[in-house]
Chain A
Amino acid sequence: MCSSNSDPLVEFRDVTYSVAGLPSPIISKLNLTVKPGETLVLLGESGCGKTTTLKLVNRLLLPTSGMVLVEGRSTTKWDPIRLRRRTGYVIQDAGLFPHFNVERNIALVPTLENWEPGRIKQRVAELLILVGLEPERFASRYPRELSGGQRQRVGVARALAADPSLLLLDEPFGALDPLTRGSLQKQFGELAARLQKTAIFVTHDLREALLLGSRIGLMHAGKLLFVETPEGFLNSKEEYAQAYLETLSLPSDGKRSGGER
């Protein structure tokens, strides 16, 4: 048990991903391990390659060179359909199907996997409660009848539906207003801890990274600069990490100077 726990669930070995016509690769020589149960946050500004990294895990993309291993097996060896159905995926704006109601959206993977209707119904209710939505009120609504925060909760529920061991989250709360975002971040943190899910979480928001990450990987221009615990990140002397930390302190400096008056 102990040894299997330390086996990485996801491993990047010298992964480079490039697109024909672009001068430099989108990701170059990336090495990374994700351990079972941890939430690894990939932090970086847009265009740094963090979303591409995520897409390499569930074989939405295949590496140009190097290898991505999921449960010890290269993604090129995985049947992409099998791999994706056992990997939860949450994206910004949720990507819910507008022609499915909440229940059918959440039930998507279980339905594709031919679960029994009774079991699906029970599972949907369970998940709605888990993400803080009352099943009676929300199950039959359509995505357009939900607020942004509610949609994102449904997106998380959909990703969890078939009880995947791995969750991939691509800036899931990025489009929400700050109050809703804060509340969802808090709940997601609790949920991840309770469910013991392994998650790779992509964000450009340092606060979110510090709040949710077991470890934080800082990315810049297609390279992974380092992977650190939140404490380690706060104490990092790395130049780029410093720049991030400054964004954290600037608004509070402003506040302080305002308060001195």
Chain B
Amino acid sequence: MSLVNFLQQNLPELLTLLRQHLFLVLISTLIAVLIGIPTGILLTRKRSLRGPILGIANVMQTVPSLALFGFLIPLPFIGGIGARPAIIALVLYAFLPIIRNTVTGILGVDPTVREAAVAMGMTDRQILTQVELPLAMSVILTGVRVAMVISVGVATIAAAIGAGGLGTYIFRGLRQNDNNLLLAGAVPAALMALTADFALGFAERKFSFNVKRSNTHRNRIAFGLLALVAAAVALITFQSYRADQASSGEGQRLVVASKDFTESILLAEIAAQMLEARGINVTRKLELGGNLSHEGLVSGEVDLYPEYSGTSYTAIFHHPPITDPRAVYDQVKREYAEKFGVDVSPPLGFENTFAILVRGAVARTLGLRTITDAVPHARRWRAGFGQDFMSRADGYPGFTRAYGLRFAEQPREMDLSLTYVALASGRVDLIAGNSTEGRIAVLDLFQLADDRLYFPPYEAVLLARRDSLARVPALREILTRLGNSLSTEEMRQLNYEVDANKRTPAEVAREWLSRKGFS
């Protein structure tokens, strides 16, 4: 499918994402300006505050954005998932350039001009509004411009906490290895950044008093038009956002979340469509990064999301990995109930364990069947692992220890979805993928058997809050019906439809539901 075709088919969605993105950027920049400029002015008056406040703003900007989103999730009022914490995070990032440039701009006003202003009998307020701010305006606008360009970039990551925006396409494109999706997300984001850069650069020059100006009148009109367009865009964006919020309607409501990989999205979509078929209003917070789904579930912002028993066992409850599926499931079910008031559905019927993969050709040439078979060869190999695998207890450290594996160099840490292609193209020689990944067959990859039974069982389940189950009785029914309904082969096929055939998860889920007679 060409990019043009893609755009033709997905234009409404693209426009929605564009609008969400614009909303995030404009609102957060506006808030940052409204707070940042007065803060900057204060710092020019109170020298003692300058160091500490600029220091804090500086530190804010060095916090990696996904980490900042993570910090914000459990906080009351400002935290959670969706647009609000994303805006808060973007505001925090935008502060530094705005505050710093306000301070620099005002302190940079020619001292003789300021002295003249004082000596002419201007009051402090008059000096600020008539002399300092106008003369500092081009520098302040540079700060706003930098803040806005940063925001356009950081807002792509906001997709990971369910705030939508163009990052949705970028994450999806990475996951599905789809260049059209990547471009459809990245190009508009880049254009938006360039437009913001250009428009504010233009406004800046209006306030630059040391350059010779020509045709002031026409420039003023152009500047006015620009301001009008910006205001109109902001207004439309805001109104459609309000409309989004308002359209959620009456009746029973549930928030269904998913992690940021195809299978999780598909499972969430299946549950969401079944709920919708029963007249329940479903808000989807799909493609959440890290363990934001869990955080959302615990904080009450999410009612339901798909998880794996082994992941909960090791990553959430911090138990050392064990291999008995029954024991893992029972333990996880008990702990969720006790600690979080969360119910665990019956297993859905398939496992998605880590699949240690090598190229099919390599496996055939060397006659590899198990991970133990591969250990002697691994010294000449390079490995590539997702961030998740590198960091979790049952991931890389324990795995290499259990098998005595050594690689030629430190494994490359990369996005999980990229590791499949990296392996197929020979850039790495061994990866840890998902056993239900559709591309395993497509890319001719071979799964080495876990002969030491190192990996704990990862049975797919759905997690639901108990209060949600009490509030929406249909939820219980759905959890029961989905029990033991999906085999590993089926799941691999569904993943394949999305990842390789580029169909939407909603469509693939709908098809599966009707085939099963569930919908």
Contacts and interface: CB of A to CB of B under 8 A. Distances in A.
A81 B113 CA distance: 17
A58 interface: yes
Contact of B121 (A82, A93, A145): A82
Nearest to B116: A95
Interface stretch (A3-11, A96-104, A238-246): A96-104
Contacts of A138: none
- Minimum-distance CB pairs A-B, first 7: A95-B116, A84-B121, A85-B121, A89-B119, A95-B112, A98-B209, A99-B209
Contact of A99 (B116, B118, B135): B135
Given A142-B209, A144-B209, A95 B115 contact: yes
Contact of A112 (B121, B134, B207): B121
Given A81-B121, A112-B121, A91 B209 contact: no
A73 to B, nearest CB: 16
B120 A84 contact: yes
A108 interface: yes
A81 B126 CA distance: 11
B62 interface: no
A42 B126 CA distance: 31
A112 B112 contact: no
Contacts, number: 64
A7 B119 CA distance: 25
Nearest to A54: B119
A155 to B, nearest CB: 8
A60 B115 CA distance: 9
B210 interface: yes
Given A144-B209, A144-B210, A98 B121 contact: no
Which of B110, B121, B134 has the most chain A CB atoms inside 10 A of its CB?
A: B121
B119 A84 contact: yes
Nearest to B122: A112
A109 interface: yes
Interface in A74-131: 80-85, 87, 89, 91-99, 108-109, 112
Interface size class of B (residues with CB under 8 A): 20 to 34
Contacts of B242: none
B117 interface: yes
B123 interface: yes
10 contacts: A58-B119, A81-B122, A82-B121, A89-B120, A91-B119, A95-B110, A95-B115, A98-B209, A144-B209, A144-B210
A91 B115 contact: yes
Interface string B92-124: 000000000000000000101101111111110
Given A81-B121, A85-B121, A91 B116 contact: yes
Nearest to B123: A81
Interface in B124-147: 126, 131, 134-135
B118 A98 contact: no
Contacts of A93: 112
Contact of A97 (B117, B121, B210): B117
B452 interface: no
Which of A84, A92, A94, A108 has the most chain B CB atoms inside 10 A of its CB?
A: A108
B120 A108 contact: yes
Nearest to A140: B216
